[in-house]
Chain A
Amino acid sequence: MKYLEEYRNPEIAHRLLDEIRDKVTRPWVIMEICGGQTHAILRNGIDELLPDTVTLVHGPGCPVCVTPLELIEKALTLASRPEVTFVSFGDMLRVPGVSRDLFKVKSEGGDVRIVYSPLDAIRIAKENPDRQVVFFAVGFETTAPNSAMLVAQAVREEITNLSLLVSHVLVPPAMTALLDSPQNRVQAYLAAGHVCTVMGWQQYESIVRDYHVPIVVTGFEPVDLLSGILSAIKQLESGQAKIENQYARMVTREGNLYAQRQIDDVFQICDRTWRGIGVIPRSGLKLRDKYATFDAEPRFGLTDLVIAEPADCISGIILQGLKKPNECPQFGNRCTPATPLGATMVSSEGACAAYYNYQRFRNLSEK
């Protein structure tokens, strides 16, 4: 396929690997933010091909994984209500709440439906005028414009039996929160290509300046990832810190202004809890007051919940790049895709799922 095969060229990939080996003189830790990139790295064996001195750690860029338990429980409560049709991306259905998941609610008779596009919620609302349709609006800057368009379109079409359970999160505040942590080991970032497609790479300029950390905007194919890693290594080895855009075929400095305007019209920035990590200031989006009627939480009288994370799941530590999935004592034993302890094992973008799917059972703690 066009724009795909060339970025999977094995000869160029091997030459990039040779150049990485040639340039590295000491250990470095690089984090790829995006869970899609984590899966691409594991699927292509890039983690195993890199020199031992280059450690890739996997960031919190999986929206399913970081959706807080409180919101999962609210989703389960809403999906159990007899008058509600609960609409969600498929990834969310197996995310464990305290004692059940959305699949369990569905099996017990809850009207839970999987959609690919948020706009499908409009069609469902129109087809079911007597029911309350609730869309579980999760995701980063990549899905926020889609949820925003859902609200705008619902206004245009005067749909009143639709609301959103909003759990949108923003990537840059999470990146700075990780760098601010005393335990931080991240020395360079591969920025999430599709978040940058929407928001542009300008949003990272202040992080590079304030933290002196190299950031390379990176795509999803092996050559993209390897050239991103090479760019990061070259900067680290020379003591530089700047933004490089390896994914220029998709990403500009300004990003997609249409999408940004739509997000800004519908949402405003708020503090948000990240599952396993805690509250990150100004890291989330909530509906603006003028769209408050679309907010499912007040519509259904859901009060704030505070729920402790399960003690035996270390996904929060994994999402901060402090440990790898196969360093968890539960990995592949008590915790498998069939019996997940946390969201990172069930999400298609989760780091634990990637390690399980691509059979990284060997303990790689030395890498």
Chain B
Amino acid sequence: MCLAIPGKVISLHEENGLLMGKVEFGGTLISACLAYVPEVKVGEYVIVHAGFALNVIDEEEAERTFALLKEIGESEGQG
């Protein structure tokens, strides 16, 4: 049930009143309900859990966190 991999939103459409979309995971396309991420745009990354996108990945935060982790690693490596 728990798919932790970020998927890229490829297209958006409406189905019986619900916002849906095609989401790509490493070349595989799946259909997901996007009703809980109504602001999502094509090209953004989401986490999908049991057929529903639960959140849009925060690109700036992803880069900031990784930069911090890299910094910890580098200062440790120099120490």
Contacts and interface: CB of A to CB of B under 8 A. Distances in A.
Interface of A: 1-4, 6-7, 11-12, 15-16, 18-19, 22, 34-36, 40, 63, 89, 91, 115-120, 122, 139, 142-143, 145-146, 149, 153, 156-157, 193-194, 197-198, 219-221, 223, 227, 246, 248-251, 256, 258-259, 262, 348-349
Contacts of A143: 1, 49-50
- Of A119, A145, A246, A349, chain B has the most CB atoms within 10 Å of the CB of A119
16 contacts: A1-B25, A1-B26, A11-B73, A15-B72, A15-B77, A16-B72, A116-B50, A116-B51, A117-B50, A142-B50, A193-B4, A194-B4, A248-B65, A249-B59, A256-B37, A258-B35
Interface string B25-69: 110001111011110000001010111101101110110111001
A18 to B, nearest CB: 6
B73 A12 contact: yes
8 nearest interchain CB pairs?
A117-B51, A15-B73, A249-B62, A220-B4, A36-B2, A3-B6, A12-B73, A248-B61
Given A142-B49, A223-B69, A262-B36, A4 B5 contact: yes
Contact of B51 (A18, A146, A156, A223): A146
A19 B8 contact: no
Interface residues of B, number: 42
B6 to A, nearest CB: 4
Nearest to B4: A220
Contact of B69 (A36, A40, A193, A227): A227
B18 to A, nearest CB: 7
A153 B62 CA distance: 33
Contacts of A246: 65
Contacts of A4: 5-6
B1 A139 contact: yes
A120 B55 contact: no
Contacts of A115: 51
A91 B54 CA distance: 20
Given A15-B76, A249-B62, A34 B47 contact: no
